[in-house]
């Protein structure tokens, strides 16, 4: 059986420099996805032309718009790059340029040319759930995102904040605190009805 071996991490993209190469529909989709999750992301977009909707979105956030053809000079100082032009040869050039510089890169709709995938994300306050299908089915990730949006309680952020306050009052070493929190949180997210009491 095939196994998803991706390692999930949560990036502080407000501290990183992100480059999106491409100004069409896919570029807009990638920018929208990024800013929905991380509104303070540091982003530069490079393309000869941009959709009006992309320009409007960029003005509301920390997005630098550069009207130009891709050149490797745009990779200077970048940590993460997304290539999503409508030219396969440009996207693959971006990939090879990034690999030479040890920059993480994602080429849209081309899994072999990706160091990472942009999966489905559910955010409720401080709680964030990321979903990956190993690049196989974005539609499945979307459906799972909708499922988790429905089942995660709206007050889950209050729970997290209260537990953080409670954790700060605990004494003892790390293991003792973990044991206390595990005991305290048993059943807190158990929304199934108790059949014995019905």
Domains in the chain (CATH in brackets) are 17-118 (3.40.50.720)
- Identify the pLDDT of residue 118: 86
CA distance 189 to 187: 5
CA distance 34 to 80: 12
Whether the pLDDT of residue 59 is over 80: the answer is: yes
Contact between 166 and 177 under an 8 Å Cβ cutoff? The reply is: no
Q: For residue 31, with 0-12 CB atoms within 10 Å meaning exposed, 13-18 middle and 19 or more buried, which class applies?
A: buried
Picking from 68, 21, 19, 59, the residue whose alpha carbon sits closest to that of residue 42 is: 19
The mean pLDDT of 41-55, rounded to a whole number, is 98
pTM, two decimal places: 0.80
Mean pLDDT computed over every residue of the chain = 87
């Amino acid at each position: 059986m095939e196994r998803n071996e991706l390692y999930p991490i949560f990036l502080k993209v407000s501290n990183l420099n992100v480059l999106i190469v491409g100004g069409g529909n896919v570029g807009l989709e990638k920018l929208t996805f990024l800013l929905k999750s991380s509104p303070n992301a540091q982003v530069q977009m490079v393309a000869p032309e941009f959709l009006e909707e992309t320009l409007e979105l960029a003005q509301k956030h920390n997005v630098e718009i550069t009207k130009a053809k891709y050149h490797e000079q745009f990779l200077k100082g970048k940590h993460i790059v997304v290539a999503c032009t409508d030219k396969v040869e440009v996207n693959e050039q971006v990939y090879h340029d990034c690999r030479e510089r040890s920059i993480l890169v994602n080429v849209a709709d081309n899994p072999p040319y990706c160091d990472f995938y942009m999966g489905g994300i559910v955010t409720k306050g401080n709680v964030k759930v990321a979903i990956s299908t190993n690049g196989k089915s974005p539609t499945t990730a979307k459906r799972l995102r909708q499922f988790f949006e429905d089942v995660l309680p709206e007050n889950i952020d209050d729970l997290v904040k209260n537990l953080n306050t409670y954790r700060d009052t605990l004494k003892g070493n790390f293991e003792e605190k973990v044991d206390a929190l595990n005991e305290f949180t048993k059943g807190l997210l158990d929304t199934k009805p108790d059949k014995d009491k019905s």
